[in-house]
Amino acid sequence: MPPERQRLEALFLSQLGWIERVVAAVSRRNGLARDDADDFASWTTLRLIEDDYAVFRKFRGESALTTYLTVVIAMLFRDYRTHRWGRWRPSAAARRRGPLAVRLETLVYRDGLRLTQAGELLRTAGHTDLSDRQLGALLNELPIRQSGRPQQVASSGGADPPAIEEADDLVLADEVAMARKVIGDQLKRLPPEEQVMLRMRYWEGMTVVEVARGLGLPQKPLYRRLDRALADLRHFLEESGMSQEGLRAALTEWTN
């Protein structure tokens, strides 16, 4: 084996422990079921070693190798998700409520399971002891989504849509999409760091601690900066002519 390949292989092996921890954390954060997480792990491993360890070969040492691999795996996750499920992604609200909410949202909205089926799956897999009623309450805290999977016109009995009014859902989903676009437009008027800060906190559902770590900022003043940036955004949205109701819906979708 050529010495360069041997070196890259050794580098890969030396990082296996970190890689598996990152893969597990990314899977958890994005609500992957165990089988999907296993599949993602294998898929990621292949990507990391393909083309003679190209990922490792490209590394120039401008960051810690562990950080670089973490970003690579996070980027790979986007590719994996698109490859498996198209444009589906968990909502920020579900992420903020933790892995159970992400998993529940995924089962109901992406996979089209009824709440009772989703509850059964989650309990059997040991993810929760909550009853269907309690899971329903959790689901109600999440934004209503359009299913990521094409629905059959005539259900054969196994894949009923979630227990919500479908026509209303679609209208709401449209409003939410519209609100998201308007927010995206107005966000651009804020300074870049404020934009990133708000997107990380509200769009991506990160905690303030995570945002602070991600941007290398002190945590305490960040609360005030976030509040200020949100107030500025509200002001821009009002300026853009958005109605009070639309504004409330938009910010609720964003910040809940």
Partner 1 sequence: MKDIGVSAEELAALLDGRLDQSRRAELLASLGSSEEAIEAYANAASVISELEAGDTARSTAPSKAASRAHPRRLPAWSWLAMAAALAGVAVAPWLWTRARSVDRDDPSQFVGLVAPPGRALPPQWYGTPWPGTRGAGQPLTPTARATRLGVRLVDLDLAVRTHDSTVGQLTAEIVDLVEGLPAGSPVAAVYRDLGRRATAGEAPDALEPLLARGRGAATKLAGADLVQLGAWAEAGRLAAAQRNASFFQAQASRTMLARASGVPGLPEEARVLVQRLHSDLQAGAPRDWSGLERDFTELLKITGS
- Least distance between partner 1 and beta carbon 154 (Å): 35
Between 115 and 194, CB nearer to partner 1: 194
Residues that bind partner 1 (CB under 8 A): 1, 9, 12-13, 16, 19-30, 32, 34, 37-38, 40-42, 45-47, 49, 55, 58-60, 62-64, 67-68, 70-79, 82, 89, 98-99, 187-188, 192-193, 195-196, 199-200, 203-204, 206-207, 209-211, 213-214, 216
**Nearer of residues 209 and 231 to partner 1, judged by Cβ:** 209
Residues 53, 8: contact at Cβ < 8 Å? yes
Looking at the Cβ atoms of 99 and 136, the one nearer to partner 1 is 99
> Please, what is the minimum distance in Å from the beta carbon of residue 10 to partner 1?
8
**Smallest distance from the beta carbon of 80 to partner 1, in angstroms?**
10
Q: How far is the CB of 144 from partner 1 (least distance, A)?
A: 21
Contact 161, 147 (CB under 8 A): yes
Q: Which of 67, 65, 38, 37 is nearest to 53 (CA)?
A: 65
Q: Which is nearer to partner 1, 73 or 237 (CB)?
A: 73
Query: DSSP string covering 172-241, please?
Result: HHHHHHHHHHHHHHHHTTS-HHHHHHHIIIIIS---HHHHHHHHT--HHHHHHHHHHHHHHHHHHHHHTT
Nearer to partner 1, 8 or 172 (CB): 8
Q: Are 65 and 15 in contact (CB under 8 A)?
A: yes
Residue environment code for 195-208, b if the CB has 16+ CB neighbours within 10 A, otherwise e: bbbbbbbbbbbbeb
Q: CB of residue 13 vs partner 1: minimum separation in angstroms?
A: 6
